[in-house]
Amino acid sequence: MFYTIPHTKRERSILPLTINLLGYNYLQEPVSRSRGFSLFQWIYCVDGRGEFIIRGQKSILFPGQTVLIFPYEPHSYHAVTDEWHVHIIGFSGNCCGDIMKTLKMHESGIYHFDSPDIFRSYFREIIQIQQEMREEAGRGSKRKSRNQFPYLMRLSKLCYEFLLDLSRSVQFISASVPDPGNKTIRLIISYLEEHFREPITLELLSEQVHLSKGYLCELFKKEMQQTVMQYLTNLRISQARIMLMEFPERKVAEVGRMCGFESPSYFGEVFLKVVGMTPNEYRLS
């Protein structure tokens, strides 16, 4: 389901924050916006996976994660699984930019929730208010705009509470990589993203993409400014950062294995080198 919430010019001038659109368990189709969109957008992954490209940087959105997109920032996204369902909140307002900056949410990209329930609970409440407003409008009141304003004010207050609580429970994930224009490189990256949990060798990868090992390595380094194995390592570490936060009950060694590191000591060594702290320190940070 997808809803828009219209506001009059006067309502927009009065309310510091406005919720303008909602998507509930929405089966997301491909989107490409070369000039961006007029609203701030929070897009929460319910199930499946989606690929986002923002400022020429590509990220994969997994279930339980969310992406924040600032207004007028060029972006595109599409499903990388058969089906991809999302919740969407689009919002704006005269104070929106200052509020986001104050709450330290000043960059488009993927964010991970310490507690996904926060997003889901607020989303349910927002949907409930929106449904009440639609029922009120459906009664055919001659003074619809006046009857609508109390609902819009409740949504404005709830939007602020939502952003305030969200700022305390999300963590920005720097998991983006340059979007390759080369179709062969995209094929290589897609294979790595799909199989990063498994043992991967250059020999195996060259067989999968039907290239010689030497040409594969040369092409990848030229296009991506890093080796295939460096890319794979960074991909695994990015996923480990997500899983360390998402599964606090699991041991560090188990998280390492889930991300393709068979040796716990090697996982810890690589994580420290890439992130600058140990997996346990990162989990507690």
Instruction: Write down the pTM of the prediction.
Output: 0.68
pLDDT of residue 178: 58
pLDDT of residue 172: 76
pLDDT of residue 239: 81
Which domains are seen in the chain, by residue range?
2-172 (2.60.120.280), 180-284 (1.10.10.60)
Beta strand 2-4 with 75-79 is unpaired
pLDDT of residue 170: 79
Q: What is the largest CA-CA distance in the chain?
A: 73
- 83 within 8 A of 47, measured Cβ to Cβ: yes
At a CB cut-off of 8 Å and minimum separation 6, what does 273 contact? none
Rg (CA), the chain: 22
SS3 (DSSP) at 50: strand
Quick one: DSSP state of residue 224? Answer: H
SS3 (DSSP) at 68: strand
pLDDT of residue 201: 93
Rounded CA-CA distance 47/64 in Å is 8
pLDDT of residue 181: 63
Q: Which residue has the tokens 């595109």?
A: 76
Successive 10-residue mean pLDDT values, the chain, 285 residues: 87 93 92 92 91 82 86 92 92 91 86 76 91 79 64 94 88 61 81 89 91 91 87 87 79 94 94 90 80
Per residue in 158-187, pLDDT (tens digit) is 999 999 998 888 777 655 555 566 788 888
The Cα-based distances of 89 to 10, 126, 153 in angstroms read: 22, 9, 16
